[in-house]
Structure formats: structure tokens, C-alpha cells
Amino acid sequence: IGPELTQHGVPDALANPTLELHDQSGALIASNNNWVQTIIGGIITTSQVVDIRNSGHAPSDPRESAIIATLAPGNYTAIVRGVNDTTGVALVEVYALD
């Protein structure tokens, strides 16, 4: 979460975040920039827009990033970057969806 942080008084929020998900070996398994546009690749094989909307956790700002993934037990790393190497404050939220 980046742009939405400004409405909560967080200074220097990341204006346009991109999200990467890496497996325990460091391999990129999913990425997203702008949750309303799915990036197909890795473990993401179909559009996620409807699933994200129906999850109850859809961001209100289309510039936010979001990924829904079914993961095997193990260690994973989420990396948030600013598009075009911009910088700022971001927050990663992880939910167990059933």
C-alpha cells in the first residue's frame, strides 16, 4: 500500500508501488503494478481483478499493487519498489483468504 497511506497522514508515501513475490530460492513467482491490471506470469495464470475485488481487501486506489496467491508452506519475500525508481513509504499487508 502506498498512495492510500496519505489519507492516514503518512508523509512521503510511495505514489506508485509495484509488488514482487519471491520464493525461498529468491526466484520471482509473481508481480503486480496497479492491481486493476493483472500481470500474467509465474504462479499467476489468469486475471485476478475479480478475485481481488471479491476478497474484501481491494485497494481503493488503482495505483496500489495486489496479488492473490495460493502458496505451499515455506518462506517467501515480498518486495515493494517505486515505479521508475521512485521512493517513499509503503506498507505490505498479507491476508489468509478462505
pLDDT tens for each residue of 3-26: 999 999 999 999 999 999 999 999
Q: What secondary structure does DSSP assign to 23-40, as a single string?
A: -TTS-EEEEEESTTS---
- Which pLDDT belongs to residue 56? 94
Residue 57 lies in a domain: yes
Look up the domain containing 50 and give its range.
Answer: 3-82
- Which pLDDT belongs to residue 98? 78
Residue 43 lies in a domain: yes
The reported pTM is: 0.90
* Arithmetic mean of pLDDT, 50-54: 95
- Which pLDDT belongs to residue 51? 94
* Arithmetic mean of pLDDT, 53-61: 95
Residue 49 lies in a domain: yes
Residue 41 lies in a domain: yes
- Which pLDDT belongs to residue 1? 94
Where do the H-state alpha helices sit in the chain? Answer: 49-54
pLDDT tens for each residue of 64-95: 999 999 999 999 999 999 999 999 999 999 99
Q: Which SS3 state, helix, strand or coil, does residue 85 take?
A: helix
Number of domains in the chain: 1
